[in-house]
Amino acid sequence: MISLATSPKQIVLFYNSNQKNHKEIFAYASSAGKHLLAIDVSKDKVAGTTWTEIADVMNLRVRDLIHTDHATFENKYGTDSNIDCDGAIKVLQKDPEMLIFPIAIEGKRAKEIKLYNEILEFFDVDTSSIHIP
C-alpha cells in the first residue's frame, strides 16, 4: 500500500502506465531534475486514506477524482452511476483506468494533469531533452 508524504523538493505523480497520455506525462515529469516518486496505479495498490489525502490537497472529495461524465467511466459503469466517496475509493483501487488524468503533487500543491504542458508548472525543464515513449 502506498501512503502519501510530500515535499517541495519532490514531485509525486500518480499515473497509469497502461495509458499513452499518462506515459507521456510521466516522461515529462522524469525530466524535471527533481526527485520523482512515480506511483503506477496499475501496478501499485494505493490506500484509501491516500486517495482521501490526495483529494484533500486538491480541495476535492474523493468522488470528484472520478470523472463520471468521461466515456471511459460511462462505458464501464453507465451514465446513471451515483458514486459516493467510499465507492470512488473502491473504483480507483480496482479499476486503475478510472484515473483519467495523472495527478501531480509537490508539497501542498496538487493538480490533475490534463495537458502535457501542465506538468511544466511543477519544474523548469528543457523540453527538447524529453524522450516521449
Give the pLDDT score at 71.
Answer: 87
Q: What is the mean pLDDT of the chain?
A: 85
pLDDT at 109 over 70: yes
| Grid cell digits, residue 2 | 502506498
37 neighbors 10 (Cβ within 8 angstroms): yes
* Burial of residue 117, with CB atoms counted within 10 A of its CB: 0-12 exposed, 13-18 middle, 19 or more buried: exposed
Q: Residues in the chain, how many?
A: 133
β-pairing, 103-106 vs 109-112, is antiparallel
What would the pLDDT profile of 69-96 be if each residue is shown by its tens digit?
Answer: 888 888 888 887 788 889 999 999 999 9
The per-residue pLDDT for 128 is 46
Q: What is the pTM for the complete model shown?
A: 0.84
How far is it, in rounded angstroms, from Cα 71 to Cα 55? 22
- Structural domains of the chain ordered from first start: 10-122 (3.40.30.10)
